Amino acid sequence: MTPDDMEERLGRILGLGTTFSTVMFAAGLALWLTVDGRPSVDRLLNAGIIVLIVTPVTRVVASTVIYIVQRDWHMALMTGLVLLSLGLSVVVAMQR
């Protein structure tokens, strides 16, 4: 995979995540304004938030996999370290 292919593939992941969360937010907000207080609306908005947060994390996971497949160990180590610190944040978040 050339760097250009990689850029496009990662761009597609980010675009997909953004589209999904935008659709959920638009639908959720429209419902929130019309039928206030429904738990299903809250669930939809919360799902949108989770997709939003997970999108850049998915991008880092994908980059790590690509670098490992390409045997670019220097960059695989870098993205692995980023993933490790994101993992630590998940642990902290779960404890709250």
Partner 1 sequence: MSLATLAAVMLAGTAAGGLGALLGLGGGIFLVPLLTLAMGIPIRQAIGTSLLTVIAMSSSVSAGTAGRRLINMRLGMTLEVATAAGGLVGGITAQMLSPRALYIVFGTVLTVTAAVMFSRLDRRNVILDPTADPGWYGGRFYEEESGREVVYRVRRMPLALVGSFLAGNISSLLGIGGGVLKVPMLNAWCGVPLRAAAATSAFMIGVTAASGAMIYYGSGDVAPSLAAAAVLGVQIGSRGGMHFGARAKARGLKLLMASVMIGVAVLMFVRAAQ
Q: Which of 76, 81, 38, 83 is nearest to 60 (CA)?
A: 83
Please provide the distance, in angstroms rounded to a whole number, between the alpha carbons at the two ends of the chain: 41
Three-state SS at 74: helix
Among 1, 35, 53, 69, binds partner 1 (CB under 8 A): 53
Among 49, 65, 69, 73, binds partner 1 (CB under 8 A): 49
Q: Assess 82 for contact with partner 1 (CB under 8 A).
A: yes
How far CA 30 is from CA of 13, 19, 23, 37, in Å, comes to 26, 16, 11, 12
Q: How far is the CB of 81 from partner 1 (least distance, A)?
A: 5
Q: Assess 15 for contact with partner 1 (CB under 8 A).
A: yes
Q: How far is the CB of 51 from partner 1 (least distance, A)?
A: 10
Q: Assess 88 for contact with partner 1 (CB under 8 A).
A: yes
